[in-house]
Chains A and B, each alone.
Chain A
Amino acid sequence: MLTKRIIPCLDIKDGRTVKGVNFVELRDAGDAVEQGAIYADQGADELVFLDITATVENRKTLVELVRNVARQINIPFTVGGGISSVQDVSALLNAGADKISINTSAVLKPELIDEMALQFGSQCIVVAIDTKDMGNKNIVYTHGGRKPTEIVTEQWANELQERGAGEILLTSMDHDGTKAGFANELTAIISKKLHIPVIASGGAGNMGHFYDVFTEGAADAALAASIFHFKEIPIPSLKNYLHEHGIPMRTEL
């Protein structure tokens, strides 16, 4: 049976990870490759590296980082942050990234998704959606959650699938950072309607939240950052917990 995926996300700045990460095994707290490798050894099913600076000057650093990650890590990984052209995608895939993730640039120029899917295949094009609950509807935000649009989230998700996105990374801004659980209701609406996988993100605080997002939320994968970085939930314990509660998990590595 296809297993549900657990995906740690690493924030990258100038080629190094940010946010305090305190693995005892870690020699260099900012070394993204080393951190990624530890997650892979712990049973992470995929990794996401998100370049939060994403400036033109940092592109080369990011490509170099991707090359190093690909040399040393043997599970699939996605790279995102500031990707706005077919050339960007090409450079990152050639460096060894398995998938790339786009967000703002997809909103500004939706045809980019068609172009990227056609050239590289849908399977490597992840589109991230930052969504906020406005009471009567869910709205897409861009620019790292700073700018609201008038796009309705559920409609946008449909359009992404139509244009050839291979996967959707859905981050609920209302849940992100709260540790009160994922946006299960919205995740379920989108995941059940689409035939491409949905990665739920934002709100993970305990192991039960992951159970909920895989059952109630019908998510195909769940992404989290701080709870893994600060070792509040070790990945092996999480996967064992979910496995014991009947969620299909890759438990043997």
Chain B
Amino acid sequence: MNTVIIKYNAGNVVSVTNTLNRLGVNPILSDDPEIIKGADKVIFPGVGEASTAMDYLRERKLDQIIVNLKQPFLGICLGQQLMCKYSEENDTECLGIFDLNVLRFKPKLKVPHMGWNRLFDTKGALFQNLPKEAYIYFVHSYYCEIGEETIAKSDYINDFSAALHKDNFYAIQGHPEKSGQVGQHLLENFLKL
């Protein structure tokens, strides 16, 4: 199986690569449209700021490549946010795969939301055979609204989309690559799609 991690200016890919290696997968890190299009699975990680990341993707026309992909695709953290319609982070138009907005947490508690939080209302193949109380490691200051595409929720200050799904596109707000057995299992489920 040929798994490609999209290479762009947002994100430490070491952890994702290490976790995939533990699952017996040796991912290719690439920003080459042909290599991305030819992959069996595409992973879109991300740590960083939304507008800079979107500029980078647009300059390389990766935005158009991504939205037209047909194979299973997984966005992680900022990756999930960029797959939404719009982000309040520097007023950024995003990829629009999910018809949802990304909003900043109201600072009623400490922001960023950092640490382990529980997933609830999970549905679909990504969450198969996970423990009933599945905890994921999060680090984020912006969150995706809840909508029809929500396949898992978590709560901090308010409920938000912890995972999204539409057609071949999947996204998760937390960091499965840093979430112990649960996270590893989740990535394994994605690789089985």
Contacts and interface: CB of A to CB of B under 8 A. Distances in A.
Bound pair (A, B): yes
Interface of A: 1-5, 40, 45, 70-72, 74-76, 93-96, 98, 121, 123, 166-167, 194-197, 220-221, 250-253
B123 to A, nearest CB: 19
B180 A253 contact: yes
B178 A2 contact: no
- Chain B interface mostly helix, strand, loop or mixed? mixed
Contact of A123 (B110, B112, B135, B182): B112
Of B21, B48, B111, B115, chain A has the most CB atoms within 10 Å of the CB of B115
B113 A74 contact: no
Contacts of A45: 115-116
A195 B18 contact: no
A94 B133 contact: no
- Chain A interface mostly helix, strand, loop or mixed? loop
B110 A220 contact: yes
Interface string B165-193: 00000000001011111111000000000
Contacts of B175: 76
A74 B179 contact: yes
Given A3-B135, A220-B110, A250-B116, A71 B18 contact: yes
B112 A74 contact: no
Given A75-B137, A252-B132, A96 B110 contact: no
Contacts of B178: 74-76, 98
B137 A76 contact: yes
